[in-house]
């Protein structure tokens, strides 16, 4: 019985179910899109930890994603302990390694940067993100400017979906538990008033760095999934635009809301695909124009995003209250 | 008030989404071929020329009754000149549009990324103009209808030594492109074999606008020839800045220069430069002249070699579709591999064991807004 | 030695252009504490406005001083209008919002302009019209001095001097300095704060327009995404010099140009972008207020 209640088992069941349902209802391309949704969920929830819960504005998420992606890709060339039917077990391994590498990078970047506030932190993280990209661009051993070809992926789309959903679910669970814990309280206090929390005995620097490292870890995990889904890596996929994409997801969902981040990841991934026919009709690629216009309007009309700082529990309560009224 | 505006926006967004749900209709009487290329971006003429020629070819085929009674439907995707986008659109063509074969691309880096996807999904792919050998290496589903860079590099090295009498050559290569790196390697190997001296190898990245630093260093070495194995947009700018700095070397390049926009971007600075390419409009061959005339009539411009190769690639694919026992991927692949002595507008095309074509290279010189034929070099 | 001097000349030219654009960033930050990400796109629109104006009026058929001044005028006017529009529509509604929101809006405006530019103008690069003929003026051994080099340096310095004079020696300039110091007090003194902010945007955008024409002369390839990288580097230059400080932007820009040229010439061209960010990080870690900036004390 305890097994059934364990998070691991529930996650596994959830991933299998979701993958089976999507396989039944959707065509292969749409299943692929759902895998991208999973990747974006991982990225959005991890950035939400730093930007939303901790109130530190980081614009360098793409850099950590890149580190995770490249580490995972390179590792998959040299190390594959499982093969055949169990090949899918390789990917969690790569993901953890990728996350660890990205986490270390997060530590190195975070310690000097997190002394700065607001705009300055944003600029520095932007700078680090770009430096990571340029370093990867110049490393011939990982393909440099031409990119890394032929990275292995899961043996078929179904297995790939299961792995992706499992990782997204695991990320959500871990981050959710973190925000509900005393660490989560520390993040929130730093967000609300740094000076006051320092006075109350919260080591703000340590808290901020911790949030940053955890966020980078999961960015690396997201990058690893990205590498094995697209089978090809190029530093140009990790430019500033990618960081902005993830920021848009966090802002749209509501900075500080994990549920919002998931919803926003869903919307942001599916919207360009849904708008693709528009491109065929008009001959112009208006998707990004609509995208950016939505961002501006969002900030002017509803800056708290879709959910503000509310989570699914709050939505549930709100729904029940409405029903009662 | 704010929430109302938001509500209206969301509602209109959803309606838009609803309108776009109509998926393209399936038709059992059609053969779907996918095409991808750079229709926009810095190398846009590559994709556009190839696309125009492919449409010219396929329209003619459809007008003559199609392939075994079925019409061909071409689904084109724009990779915007980005390598990761190329991989993504090819995946889409294969998984969503379910094409039976793919035509594309010109730039070797993008073709290579797409080729590994095509090979993974086992869909035949023909690249009309990618010359880097890695594109087809080890992939039995990928083919090309042009020569490869080991040959092109050797041709250029021979030209530099015999025709340009160059004793010293400086190289300015593009780090972002497989094509540029490969061509440099093969050129340098042959040139050194023939006794020439490479003064230095400098780098730039596609999209850079300032090359003065590298060109200043090159100017100090006083080479006879400046070898620029890149794409036309960057080459045009490099030529301008070289002239501004007073660099006197003759400029030499590969088929990446071939574009009607080269004259515009390079201006007076690119006059008199030489490059190798796949065909010349002054070819006496009858089929070639018919193609040039038809292309000019339809599009009001002279086809460059990318268009000519696109035309040949499309017709070879159609030929294979006609000869294949059925429309399964393996059969189409085998039919393409059997192509022998196909009379294309860029010459006689035979697909060899490495899935490459063995053809002559033509060296041309920039004169005004046209390309003057200089010589043709074979194996 | 000659090579080194040529590199210095190249670097100064590059730096002058960075300085022009950096001034725009620094002025807006000074009054609004906002990093105007959209400034790079204003610059891009300036270049394109001259391209399209040329299609209408055919400046490039008679290259010379009149065409040059005409194209400068076109660029400056268009850039100012765009800058004003952005300020009015996107930034003014958020005047009292948290800084994060405004930052995100600025990013949104930047993206919007970039992609609208791509949709409207087409993503393939275009050739900037030749409004001024380049001529080899002097030679010192191997070093070439072309008229372009003089024009770029000269026009940039003239623009910066004009700005300096305007800010330091006119009433409007004094009003702007007051708003920069403290918005509320300036309003109490009877200064039209909104109007002054608009003037700042006009000034900054006009400089971007001048920069666009100069860049168009030197590097004639223009495309809708050209603003991004140069904007980022100019912004870094502004931060290095001390964001909010006008002499800082100029010094930062020149420094950035020189360093970039040296790295490209003596190390490898591929590291030039990394240099910009490396410089940024070094400055932010060791002296976050920049070369000319004053560190601010946060009162609790």
| Whole-number pLDDT of residue B7 | 58
Select B30-147+284-360's CATH number: 3.40.50.2300, 3.10.310.10, 3.40.980.10, 3.40.50.10540: 3.40.50.2300
Tell me the per-residue pLDDT of C96-138, one tens digit each, with 9 for 90 and over: 888 778 888 998 999 899 888 888 887 778 888 887 777 666 6
Give chain C positions within 8 Å (CB) of B80: 123
Tell me the per-residue pLDDT of B261-279, one tens digit each, with 9 for 90 and over: 898 888 888 999 999 999 8
Average pLDDT over residues C179-187: 89
Give chain C positions within 8 Å (CB) of B204: 269
Average pLDDT over residues A46-56: 89
**Three-state secondary structure call for residue B103:** strand
Distances (CA, A) of B104 to B88, B89, B307, C180: 14, 11, 12, 56
Does C278 lie at the interface with A, CB-CB under 8 angstroms? yes
| C151 has a pLDDT exceeding 80 | yes
| C211 has a pLDDT exceeding 50 | yes
Question: Is the Cβ–Cβ distance between C252 and C242 less than 8 Å?
Answer: yes
* C64: enclosing H helix or E strand: none
Q: Per-residue DSSP letters for B138-169?
A: T-TTEEESS--HHHHHHHHHHHHHHTS--SEE
CA-based nearest residue in chain B for residue A270 = B17
pLDDT band at A43 (very low <50, low <70, confident <90, very high): very high
* pTM flag (> 0.95): no
| Whole-number pLDDT of residue B8 | 59
Two domains, one topology: B30-147+284-360 and B150-277 = yes
Tell me the per-residue pLDDT of A243-265, one tens digit each, with 9 for 90 and over: 988 988 998 888 888 999 999 99
Tell me the per-residue pLDDT of C271-288, one tens digit each, with 9 for 90 and over: 777 777 888 888 887 887
Of the two residues A246 and A140, the one the predictor is more confident about is: A246
Question: Is the Cβ–Cβ distance between B169 and B160 less than 8 Å?
Answer: yes
| Whole-number pLDDT of residue A56 | 84
Question: Is the Cβ–Cβ distance between B253 and B131 less than 8 Å?
Answer: no
Radius of gyration of chain C (CA): 19
Torsion of CA B80, B83, B85, B87, to 10 degrees: 140
Q: Under an 8 A CB cutoff, do A289 and C119 touch?
A: yes
Q: What distance in Å separates the CA atoms of residue A26 and residue C234, rounded to the nearest whole number? A: 47
Tell me the per-residue pLDDT of B159-190, one tens digit each, with 9 for 90 and over: 999 999 999 999 999 988 889 999 999 999 99
Q: What distance in Å separates the CA atoms of residue B208 and residue B228, rounded to the nearest whole number? A: 14
Question: Is the Cβ–Cβ distance between A143 and A233 less than 8 Å?
Answer: yes
Boundaries of every domain in chain A: 15-238
Determine the CATH number of domain B150-277: 3.40.50.2300
Give chain B positions within 8 Å (CB) of A276: 20
Token pair, residue B68, equals: 């075994």
The residue to which tokens 């089976």 are assigned = A20
| Whole-number pLDDT of residue A283 | 59
pLDDT band at C295 (very low <50, low <70, confident <90, very high): low
Q: In chain B, which stretches have pLDDT less than 50? A: 17-25
Does C194 lie at the interface with B, CB-CB under 8 angstroms? no
Q: Which domains does chain C have, with CATH numbers?
A: 2-286 (1.10.3470)
| Whole-number pLDDT of residue A4 | 62
Q: Determine how β-strand C221-222 pairs with β-strand C126-127.
A: antiparallel
Q: What distance in Å separates the CA atoms of residue B81 and residue B68, rounded to the nearest whole number? A: 35
Tell me phi and psi for residue B246, to 5 degrees.
80, 25
Look at residues A205, A237, A190, A242 and name the one whose alpha carbon lies nearest to residue A49: A190
> Please, which residues have CB within 8 angstroms of residue B343's CB and are 6 or more apart in sequence?
B287, B349
| Whole-number pLDDT of residue C39 | 93
pLDDT band at A209 (very low <50, low <70, confident <90, very high): very high
Looking at residue C89, the DSSP 8-state letter turns out to be I
| C144 has a pLDDT exceeding 80 | no
Look at residues B129, B130, B184, B180 and name the one whose alpha carbon lies nearest to residue B157: B184
- As a whole-number percent, the residues of chain A with pLDDT over 90 amount to 33
pLDDT band at A169 (very low <50, low <70, confident <90, very high): very high
Tell me the per-residue pLDDT of C166-176, one tens digit each, with 9 for 90 and over: 988 999 999 99
Does B209 lie at the interface with C, CB-CB under 8 angstroms? yes
Boundaries of every domain in chain B: 30-147+284-360, 150-277
| Whole-number pLDDT of residue B172 | 94
Half-sphere exposure of B248 (CA within 13 A, CB side): 8
Neighbours of A124 (CB within 10 A): 27
> Please, which residues have CB within 8 angstroms of residue B221's CB and are 6 or more apart in sequence?
B168, B170, B199, B200
- Beta bridge mates, A233: A148
Predicted complex ipTM: 0.83
| Whole-number pLDDT of residue B18 | 45
| Whole-number pLDDT of residue A18 | 82
Does C289 lie at the interface with A, CB-CB under 8 angstroms? no
Does B68 lie at the interface with A, CB-CB under 8 angstroms? no
């Amino acid at each position: 019985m305890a097994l059934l209640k364990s998070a691991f088992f529930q996650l596994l069941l959830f991933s299998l179910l979701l993958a089976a349902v999507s396989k039944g209802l959707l065509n292969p391309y749409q299943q692929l899109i759902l895998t991208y949704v999973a990747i974006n969920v991982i990225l959005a929830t991890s950035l939400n930890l730093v930007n939303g819960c901790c109130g530190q504005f980081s614009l360098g998420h793409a850099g950590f994603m890149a580190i995770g992606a490249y580490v995972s890709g390179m590792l998959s060339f040299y190390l594959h302990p499982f093969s055949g039917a169990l090949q899918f077990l390789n990917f969690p391994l790569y993901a953890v390694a990728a996350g660890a590498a990205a986490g270390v990078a997060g530590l190195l970047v975070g310690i000097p940067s997190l002394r700065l506030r607001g705009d300055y932190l944003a600029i520095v993280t932007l700078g680090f993100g770009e430096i990571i990209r340029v370093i990867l661009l110049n490393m011939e051993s990982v393909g440099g400017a031409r990119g890394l070809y032929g990275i292995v992926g899961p043996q078929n789309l179904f297995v790939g979906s299961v792995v992706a959903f499992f990782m997204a679910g695991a990320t959500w669970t871990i981050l959710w538990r973190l925000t509900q814990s005393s660490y989560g309280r520390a993040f929130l206090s730093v967000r609300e008033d740094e000076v006051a929390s320092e006075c109350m005995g919260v080591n703000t620097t340590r808290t901020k760095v911790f949030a940053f490292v955890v966020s980078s870890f999961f960015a690396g995990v997201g990058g690893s999934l990205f590498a094995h889904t697209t089978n090809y890596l190029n530093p140009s996929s990790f430019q500033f635009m990618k960081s902005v994409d993830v920021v848009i997801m966090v802002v749209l969902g509501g900075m500080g809301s994990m549920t919002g981040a998931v919803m926003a990841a869903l919307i942001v991934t599916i919207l360009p695909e849904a708008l693709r026919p528009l491109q065929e009709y008009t001959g112009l690629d208006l998707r990004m124009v609509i995208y950016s216009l939505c961002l501006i309007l969002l900030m002017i009309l509803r800056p708290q995003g879709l959910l503000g700082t509310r989570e699914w529990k709050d939505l549930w309560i709100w729904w029940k209250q409405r029903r009662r009224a | 008030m704010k929430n109302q505006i938001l509500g209206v926006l969301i509602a209109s967004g959803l309606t838009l989404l609803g309108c776009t749900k109509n998926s393209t209709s399936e038709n059992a009487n059609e053969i779907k071929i996918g095409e991808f290329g750079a229709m926009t971006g810095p190398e846009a003429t590559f994709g556009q020329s190839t696309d125009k020629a492919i449409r010219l070819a396929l329209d003619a085929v459809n007008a003559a009754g199609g392939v075994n009674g079925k019409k061909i439907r071409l689904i084109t995707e724009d990779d915007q000149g980005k390598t990761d986008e190329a991989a993504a659109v090819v995946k889409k063509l294969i998984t969503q549009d379910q094409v039976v074969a793919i035509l594309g691309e010109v730039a070797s880096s993008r073709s290579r990324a797409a080729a590994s996807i095509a090979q993974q999904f086992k869909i035949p792919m023909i690249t009309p103009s990618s010359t880097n050998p890695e594109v087809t290496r080890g992939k039995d589903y990928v083919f090309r209808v042009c020569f490869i860079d080991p040959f092109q590099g050797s041709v250029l090295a021979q030209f530099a030594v015999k025709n340009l009498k160059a004793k010293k050559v400086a190289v300015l290569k593009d780090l972002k492109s497989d094509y540029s790196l490969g061509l440099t390697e093969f050129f340098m190997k042959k040139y050194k074999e023939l006794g020439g001296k490479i003064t230095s190898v400098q780098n730039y990245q596609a999209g850079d606008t300032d090359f003065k630093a590298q060109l200043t260093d090159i100017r100090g070495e006083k080479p006879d020839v400046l070898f620029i194995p890149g794409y036309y947009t960057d080459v045009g700018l490099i030529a301008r800045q070289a002239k501004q700095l007073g660099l006197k070397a003759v400029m030499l390049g590969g088929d990446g220069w071939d574009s009607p926009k080269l004259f515009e971007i390079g201006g007076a600075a690119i006059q008199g430069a030489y490059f190798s390419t796949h065909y010349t409009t002054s070819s006496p061959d009858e089929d070639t002249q018919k193609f040039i005339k038809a292309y000019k009539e339809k599009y009001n411009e002279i086809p460059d070699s990318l268009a000519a190769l696109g035309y040949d690639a499309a017709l070879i694919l159609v030929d294979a579709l006609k000869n294949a026992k059925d429309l399964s991927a393996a059969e189409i692949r085998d039919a393409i591999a059997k192509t022998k002595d196909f009379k294309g507008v860029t010459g006689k095309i035979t697909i060899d064991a490495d899935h490459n074509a063995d053809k002559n290279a033509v060296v041309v010189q920039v004169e005004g807004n046209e390309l003057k034929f200089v010589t043709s070099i074979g194996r | 030695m000659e090579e080194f001097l040529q590199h210095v000349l190249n670097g100064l030219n590059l730096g002058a252009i960075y300085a022009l654009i950096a001034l725009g960033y620094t002025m807006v930050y000074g009054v609004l504490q906002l990093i105007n990400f959209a400034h790079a796109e204003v610059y891009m629109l300036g270049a394109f406005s001259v391209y399209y104006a040329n299609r209408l009026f055919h400046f490039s058929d008679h290259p010379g001083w009149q065409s040059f001044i005409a194209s400068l005028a076109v660029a400056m006017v268009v850039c100012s209008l765009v800058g004003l529009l952005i300020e009015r529509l996107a930034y003014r509604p958020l005047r009292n919002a948290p800084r994060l929101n405004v930052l995100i809006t600025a990013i949104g405006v930047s993206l919007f302009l970039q992609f609208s530019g791509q949709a409207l103008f087409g993503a393939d690069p275009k050739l900037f019209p030749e409004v001024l003929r380049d001529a080899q003026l002097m030679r010192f051994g191997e070093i070439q001095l072309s008229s372009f080099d003089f024009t770029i340096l000269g026009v940039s310095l003239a623009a910066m001097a004009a700005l300096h004079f305007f800010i330091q020696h006119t009433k409007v300039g004094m009003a702007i300095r007051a708003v920069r110091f403290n918005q509320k007090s300036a309003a109490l003194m009877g200064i039209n704060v909104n109007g002054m902010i608009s003037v700042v945007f006009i000034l900054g955008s006009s400089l971007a327009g001048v920069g666009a024409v100069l860049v168009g002369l030197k590097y004639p390839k223009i495309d809708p995404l050209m603003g991004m990288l140069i904007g980022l580097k100019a912004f870094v230059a502004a931060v290095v010099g001390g964001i909010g400080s006008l002499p800082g932007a100029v010094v930062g820009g020149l420094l950035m140009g020189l360093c970039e040229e040296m790295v490209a010439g003596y190390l490898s061209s591929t590291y030039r972008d990394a240099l910009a960010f490396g410089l940024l990080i070094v400055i932010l870690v060791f002296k976050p207020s920049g070369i000319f900036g004053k560190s601010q004390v946060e009162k609790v």
